[in-house]
Structure 1
Amino acid sequence: MFDNGTEWIRADFHLHTRADKEFSYLGDDDRFISDYIDALKEQQIKMSVITNHNKFNLSEYKGLKKKAKKNGIMLLPGVELSVKEGSNGIHCLIVFKNEDWISGDTEKINQFLDEVFKGIDNREKENTRCNMDLEHTVKCLDSYNNDYFIMMAHIEQKSGFLKECNGGLITSLSSKKWFKDNILGLQKGRARKEMKKLKGWMGYEIPYIEGSDCKSVEDIGKGNPCYIKIGDGNFDSVVLAFKDNQNRISLSQKKYNHGYIKSIQFIGGKLDAQEILLSPELNSLIGIRGSGKSSIIESIRYALDIAPSTADKEYKNDVVKNLLESGGQIILNLQDDYGKEYKVKRVYGETPHILDHNDKEINISINTILQTPLYFGQKDLSYMDSGYELNLLNKLVGENLSGFEESLRKVNNRLNNDVSKLLDLEEEIEKIPELENSLSDIRHKIKIFEDKGLAEKLIKQVNFQKEANYKFNPNKPGIF
C-alpha cells in the first residue's frame, strides 16, 4: 500500500454501515461488502473508520476489513458514541486500535459499550445518550489499557461539541489533560467565525477532519474530503499523523509540482532485477558501511549523466563499473513538473537514452525533465575549498537569481543615492555650530547699531541712495 514511503491519501473518519439502524441498503445481502468497498474505491478513499451509532458489529467489520485490505484500503474499528454532555448530548467518534480491542472472534468494544450504557435500552438509536459524560467516558476507556483516540463529530450541528456546549464548558473541558491527550480531531468545522471563537475558548488548535456520515452506500465519500499523510496502514501511523497534524492532516489534496525520480531498476550487474521505489519527498538510504549506499547514489548520478567531481573521480567511476559490470543497465523512471512520465536508460559504457511514457525514444535533455539535478557525494561536501559556499548557493538557487538581477541593480542605485544624500546632510550638520556662532556675532553687532541709533540712520541712508539712483538713472530718459 505504501511502496513509495509516506503518501497523502483520502480519509473518511465517519462511516456507517448496514449494521446501523440509520443506514439503508436495498441490494442483495451477499453483495453488501463488495458494494461498500467498491464505493470507497470509487471515491478514492484509502483510509476509513467504521463508526456506527453506539454499536459495533464484529462479523461485519471483519468482512469489510478483509475485502478492504485486498483493495489497498485501510479500515479501522470505531463507534459513534453519544455522551451525556450539553442539552442533547455530544456525539464522539471513538477509533480503536484493532490489535488491542479485537482478538480473533472476540472483542472488547461491545464490553465497553455495555458498561457505559448499563441500564439503558435502545442504545442503537442515534441520539440515545450513555450514562457518562465525556470525562468519565475517557476514564472508562482508559481502564481497558488499550489504545484509542476520539474525534468530536459534526461539531456545528445538533449533538455537536460546538453546538451543545457553551464557551465556558468548552474552555473547562479543553484545559484538562485527559482532553488534550485523547481528543485529537474535530469533524465538520465550517463557519470561520465559529472556528475563531472555538480557538479562543480552547487556547490551542486541533485539526479539522471530514467524514461523510453516510446513511447509504451511495452517500459514501459525499461532502467535503480530507487527507492524511501516513506511511503504514495501521492505527499507530494515524495517531502519529494527528500528533503532527500541521504536516500530515489536510482538508485539501496535496499535489507534487516538481520533477522527481519515481524508481530505480537494475538489469544485469550485482543488483540484477532489483527495483527501488522512491518518494517524491525525502528519501533516506540506511545501511552499514559497505552495504551499497554509495553504489546506488553513484549509479543514479551515472544514469543522469552527471560528471563526477575531480575530488575522487576515479573512485566514483570504479563504483559504477563494479556495480553494473559489463553490459549492466540502470533504468530511472522519472516524472516532470507537469506529471508526465519518462524513462532514462543507460547501459554501462554507453550514452543515456530518454524514452517517453510509450517507451519511444525522444531527443530531449535530462535537464528538461528534472530541472538541473544536483549531486553531492560525501567527499564533495568534505572538500570545501575557497569559494565553496558561494558555489553551492549558486547551484541551489542560481536559476532563480537571474530574474532578480535588474531589481537588485535598481535597489543598489537607490541605496547609493540615499547614502550620498546622507553624507551631504552630515556635512551640512557639521556646519551648524559654525553658522550658529556667525549668527550670534551678527545679532551682537545689530544690537550695538540699535543702541547707538545707527540702524535708523542706516535705513535713511539706504532710502536716500535708492532715490538718488532713481533720479539719475541714465536708462530712463526724462528723469533727472
Structure 2
Amino acid sequence: MFDNGTEWIRADFHLHTRADKEFSYLGDDDRFISDYIDALKEQQIKMGVITNHNKFNLSEYKGLKKKAKKNGIMLLPGVELSVKEGSNGIHCLIVFKNEDWISGDTEKINQFLDEVFKGIDNREKENTRCNMDLEHTVKCLDSYNNDYFIMMAHIEQKSGFLKECNGGLITSLSSKKWFKDNILGLQKGRARKEMKKLKGWMGYEIPYIEGSDCKSVEDIGKGNPCYIKIGDGNFDSVVLAFKDNQNRISLSQKKYNHGYIKSIQFIGGKLDAQEILLSPELNSLIGIRGSGKSSIIESIRYALDIAPSTADKEYKNDVVKNLLESGGQIILNLQDDYGKEYKVKRVYGETPHILDHNDKEINISINTILQTPLYFGQKDLSYMDSGYELNLLNKLVGENLSGFEESLRKVNNRLNNDVSKLLDLEEEIEKIPELENSLSDIRHKIKIFEDKGLAEKLIKQVNFQKDKNKIQRINKLITDFYKEIQLLMQSNIVAD
C-alpha cells in the first residue's frame, strides 16, 4: 500500500454503513460490501473510519475491512457517540485501534457501548444520548487500557461541539489534560469567524478533518475532502499524523512541483533484479556499515553522469565498478517538474541513455529533467579546502543567483540615481545662503527706488511704453487701410 514510503492519501473520517439505521441501501444484500468498496475507490478514498451511530457491527466491519485491504484501502473501526453536553448532546467520532479492541470473533467496542448506554433503550437512534458526558466517556474508554482517539463531529451543526457548547464550556473542557490527550480533530469547520472564536476559547489549535457522514453508498466521499500523510496502513500511523498535523493533515491535495527519482532498478551485478521505490519527499537509507548505502548513492550519481569529486574519486569509481560489475546496468525512473516520466539507463562503462515514457530514446540532458541535481558524498561534506564554503553555497543556490544578481543591479542603479539626486540637492542647499544674500540686496535696492519715487516713475514709464505701442499699432492699421483704399480706387471695378 505504501511502496514509496509515506504518502498523501484521501481520508474519510465519518463513514456510515448499512448497519446504521440512518443508512439506506436498496441493492442486493450480497452486493453491499462490493458496492461500498467500489464507491470508496471511485472517490479515491484510501483510508476511512466506520462510525455508525452508537453501534458497532463486527461481522459487517470484518467483511468491509477484508475487501478494502484487497483494494489498497485501510478501514478502522469506530463509532459516532452522542454524549450529554449541550441541550442536544455532542456527537463524537471515536476511532479504535483494531488490534486492541478486536480479537478474532470477539470485540470490546459493544461492551463499552453497553456500559455508557446502561438502562437506555433504542440507543441506535442518531440523537440518543448516552449516560455520560465527554469527560466520563473518556474515563470509561481509558478503563479498557486500549488505544483510541476522538474527533468532534460536524462541529457547527446541531449536536456539534461548537453549536452546543458556549465559550466558557469550551474553554473549560479544552484546558483539561484528558481533552488535550484524546481529542485530536474537529470535523466540518466552515465559518472562519467561528473558527477564530474557537481558537481563542481553546488557546491552541487541533486539525480540521472531513468526513462525508454518508447515509447511502451514493453519498460516500461527497462534500469537502481531506488528506492524511501516512507510511503504514495501521492505527498508529494515523495517530502519528494527528500528532504532527501541521505536516501530515491537510484539507487540500498535496501536489509535487519538482522533479525527482521515482525508482532505481538494477540489472546484473550484485543487486541484480532489485528495485528501490523512492518518495517525492525525503528518502533515508539506513543500515550498518558496509550494508551498501554508499553503493546505492554512488550508482545513482553514476547513472546521472555526475563526476565524482577529487577528494576520493578512485574510491567512488571502485564502488560503482564493484556493484555493477561487467555489463551491469542501472535504470532510474524520473519525473520532471511537469509530471512527465523518463528513464535514464546506463550500462557500466557506457554513456547514459535517456528515454521518454514510450521507451523511445531522446536527445536531452539529464539537467533538463531534474534541474541540476546535487550530489554530496560523506567525504565531500567533510573535505574542507580554500573556498570550499563558497563553492558549496554556489552549488546549493547557484541556479537562483542570476535572478538575484539582476535584482541587485536594479537596486544598485536606483541607489546610484538617488545618491546623484541627493548630491545635486545638497549643492542647491549650499547655495541657499548666497541666494538669501542676493535677495537681501535686491530688497534693499527696491526700497531705495521706492524712497526716491523711482517706482512711480517706472510705472509711468511702463504705461508710456504701453501707450506708445498702442499708438504704433493704430497708426499701422490706418496706414494699411489707406493703402487698401488706394488700390481699390485704382482698380477696374471702381473705374467702370
Q: TM-score, normalised by structure 1?
A: 0.88
Change (3 A) 1:434 1:143: farther
User: Per the alignment, in what secondary structure is the counterpart of residue 344 of structure 2?
Assistant: strand
CA distance in 1, matches of 2:281, 2:491: 93
SS at match of 1:52: strand
Q: 1:474 to 1:167 in 2, by over 3 A?
A: farther
Q: Which moved more, 1:202-211 or 1:412-421?
A: 412-421
What is the deviation of 1:193?
Answer: 0.9
Residue 266 of structure 1, CA deviation: 0.3
Deviation at 1:385, TM superposition (A): 1.4
Q: 1:441 to 1:387 in 2, by over 3 A?
A: farther
Aligned-pair CA distance for 1:414: 4.2
Separation in 2 of the partners of 1:160 and 1:304?
55
Q: Deviations over 1:412-466 (max 9, x none)?
A: 3444566788999999999999999999999999999999999999999999999
* Cα shift readout 1:311-330 (whole Å, capped 9, x = no counterpart): 11111111111100000000
Q: Which moved more, 1:163-172 or 1:421-430?
A: 421-430
Q: Which residue of 2 aligns with 1:366?
A: 366
Closer/same/farther in 2, CA of residues 379 and 424 from structure 1, 3 Å limit: farther
Q: 1:92 to 1:403 in 2, by over 3 A?
A: same
Point out 4+ residue stretches in structure 1 off by more than 6 angstroms. 417-467, 470-480
Which structure 2 residues correspond to residues 340-359 of structure 1 after superposition, within 5 A? 340-359=340-359
Please report how far the alpha carbon of residue 363 of structure 1 lies from its aligned counterpart in structure 2 after TM superposition.
Answer: 1.2
| Superposed displacement of residue 371, structure 1 | 0.7
Q: Which moved more, 1:429-438 or 1:184-193?
A: 429-438
Identify the residue that residue 130 of structure 2 maps to in structure 1: 130
Q: How does 1:308-327 map to 2 (within 5 A)?
A: 308-327=308-327
Percent of counterpart pairs with the same letter?
98
Which range is displaced more, 79-88 or 424-433? 424-433
Q: Distance in 2 between matches of 1:464 and 1:15?
A: 105
Which residues in structure 2 correspond to 1:59-458 (within 5 Å)?
A: 59-415=59-415
Distance 1:461 1:216, change over 3 A: closer
Distance 1:213 1:126 in 2: 12
Q: Structure 1 residues 448, 346: closer, same or farther in 2, change over 3 A?
A: same
Q: CA deviation at 1:364?
A: 1.1
Tell me the secondary structure at the aligned position of residue 361 of structure 1. Answer: coil
1:425–1:121 Cα change, 3 Å = same
- Structure 1 pair 378/427, CA: closer, same or farther in 2 (3 Å)? farther
Cα deviations by residue, 1:106-125 (Å, 9 ceiling, x for unpaired)? 11000000000000000000
- Aligned residue for 1:131, secondary structure, equals coil
How has the CA–CA distance of structure 1 residues 356 and 474 changed in structure 2, closer, same or farther, with 3 Å as cutoff? same
| CA shift digits 1:255-274 (9 cap, x unpaired) | 11100000000000000011
The aligned residue for residue 475 of structure 1 is 491
Cα separation, 2, equivalents of 1:269 and 1:57: 53
Q: 1:429 to 1:473 in 2, by over 3 A?
A: farther
Alpha-carbon spacing, 1:349–1:186, altered in 2? closer, same or farther (3 Å)? same
C-alpha separation in 2, matches of 1:381 and 1:421: 49
The worse-fitting range, judged by mean Cα deviation, of 416-425 and 315-324 is 416-425
Q: 1:218 to 1:436 in 2, by over 3 A?
A: same
CA distance in 1, matches of 2:446, 2:53: 102
Call closer, same or farther: CA 1:176–1:448 in 2, change over 3 Å. farther
Counterparts of 1:218 and 1:211 in 2: how far apart (Å)?
14
Offset at residue 410 of structure 1 (A):
2.6
Tell me, what secondary structure is at the counterpart of 2:492? coil
Per the TM alignment, residue 404 of structure 1 is displaced from its structure 2 partner at its CA by: 2.8
Partner SS for 2:131:
coil
Change in CA separation of 1:288 and 1:425 when aligned onto 2, cut-off 3 Å: farther
Aligned mates of 1:170, 1:423 — CA distance in 2: 64
1:352-393 CA-to-partner distances (Å, cap 9, x unmatched) read 111111111111111111111111111111122122222112
Q: CA 1:320 to 1:476, structure 2 compared with 1: closer, same or farther past 3 Å?
A: farther
| Farther-moved stretch of structure 1 (19-28 vs 442-451) | 442-451
* 1:275-304 residue CA offsets vs partner (Å, 9 max, x unmatched): 111110011111111111111111001101
Q: 1:455 to 1:29 in 2, by over 3 A?
A: closer
Please report how far the alpha carbon of residue 136 of structure 1 lies from its aligned counterpart in structure 2 after TM superposition. 0.6
Deviation of the 1:408 alpha carbon = 0.3
The alpha-carbon deviation at position 211 of structure 1 amounts to 0.2
What SS is found at the alignment partner of 1:146? coil
Measure, in 1, the Cα distance between the counterparts of 2:489 and 2:59.
125
Q: CA deviation at 1:406?
A: 2.5
In terms of mean alpha carbon deviation, does 271-280 or 432-441 score higher? 432-441
- Secondary structure of 2:439's counterpart equals helix
User: Cα deviations across residues 93-149 of structure 1 (Å, max 9, x unaligned)?
Assistant: 000000110111111000000000000000000000000001110111011111100
- Alignment CA distance shift 1:458-1:389 (3 Å): farther
Whole-angstrom distance in 2 between the partners of 1:364 and 1:270: 30
Task: Identify which range, 46-55 or 356-365, moves more after superposition.
Answer: 356-365
Larger Cα Rg: Structure 1 or Structure 2? 2
1:478 offset after TM fit, Å? 51
CA gap 1:460/1:343 in 2 versus in 1, 3 angstroms: closer
- Label 1:48 to 1:466 Cα distance change in 2 as closer, same or farther (>3 A): closer
Deviations 1:304-353 (CA, angstroms, capped at 9, x unpaired) = 11111111111111111110000000000001111111111110011111
Tell me the distance in 1 between the aligned counterparts of 2:492 and 2:369: 90
Q: Distance in 1 between matches of 2:166 and 2:495?
A: 100
Q: 1:265 is paired with a residue of what secondary structure?
A: strand
Indicate the SS of the match to 1:140: helix
Distance 1:317 1:454, change over 3 A: same
**Structure 1 vs Structure 2 CA RMSD:** 5.9
Instruction: Please state how far the C-alpha of 1:61 moved relative to its aligned partner.
Output: 0.5
